[in-house]
Amino acid sequence: MPRSTYRIRQRLRHQSEPLAPDRYHVAFTASATTRAQLELAQDLLRHAVPNGDPAQIFARALDVLVEELVKRKFAATPAPRARRGPAEDSRHIPADVKRAVFVRDRGRCAFVGTSGRICGERGFVEFHHVSPYAAGGPATVDNIQMRCRAHNAYEAELFYGPARRYLAGDPPAESRGGPIAAPTRGFRSGTTKTGAEQRSPTVTPSAGPPPP
């Protein structure tokens, strides 16, 4: 992580103090123009927010901002046309699926480690097939999740690594006296289970972050 980004995150962390499980005290420095806009918004919303609570004003403003940003990022429209796109077995992820997944996962890595902790990384997130595309995983809201680049690469290594090593001439595990890799059919990333028999994968990735 760049040092400048780390400093910004540290400052934000110091200016956002938890008061209760769902309540935070947030402080920041604003310009005179921003203050004037806040006061104007308080006046315009006096019927809905009689006390002019800045927290409610900012929450409403952020709702509008995030909705607009998601629309821009994933080409959202008020009346999307019927999908005529690629076939169901295509790797392409439709824009409406991306929008729904991004909002559902709040733009954060949804990888769940063995301890049950969610990664939650927000930087360089990517769309990830839970059941891999190569195993027939469809590009649907239920099968697509957000992943940070590190965990996306980690899970790709879990699934594709054994095949890559085989094609590179690495002898099969059984010939080396090791365990036979579990079949990839039914593999679901982000878990430690594979297939209907829920067998644990026996191939350890050569690289990648440990689960959070």
- Does residue 42 form part of some domain? yes
Per the rule left: phi > 0, alpha: psi between -120 and 50, beta: everything else, 150 is alpha
* Same domain? 192 vs 116: yes
Total-model pTM: 0.55
Burial of 146 (0-12, 13-18, 19+ CB in 10 A): buried
Residues 57 and 95 in one domain: no
Q: Are residues 39 and 130 in the same domain?
A: no
Work out how many domains the chain is built from and give that number: 2
pLDDT of 57 strictly over 80: yes
22 vs 178, more confident:
22
Looking at the structure, do residues 106 and 200 belong to the same domain, yes or no?
Answer: yes
Kindly state whether residues 97 and 161 are assigned to the same domain: yes
**For the residues 4-16, what does the mean pLDDT come to?**
56
Is 13 among the domain residues? no
Query: Would you say residue 166 lies in a domain?
Result: yes
Residues 58 and 152 in one domain: no
97 and 133 co-located in one domain: yes
Exposure string over 150-188, b if 16+ CB within 10 A, otherwise e: ebbbbbbbbbebbeebeeeeeeebeeeeeeebbebebbb
Residue 46 falls inside a structural domain: yes
Domain that holds residue 163: 86-212
DSSP code at position 79: S
Residues 6 or more apart whose CB falls under 8 angstroms from that of 195 comprise 182, 183, 185, 186, 187
For residue 52, tell me if it sits in a domain: yes
Strand ranges (E), 21-103? 23-26
pLDDT digits (tens, 9 = 90+) for 153-193: 999 888 887 766 666 666 555 444 444 444 444 455 554 33
Q: Indicate if 37 and 137 belong to the same structural domain.
A: no
Residue 44 lies in a domain: yes
Question: Which DSSP string corresponds to 163-204?
Answer: HHHHHTTPPPGGGGT-PPPPP-TTB-TTSS-BTTTTBPP-PP
180/99 same-domain check: yes
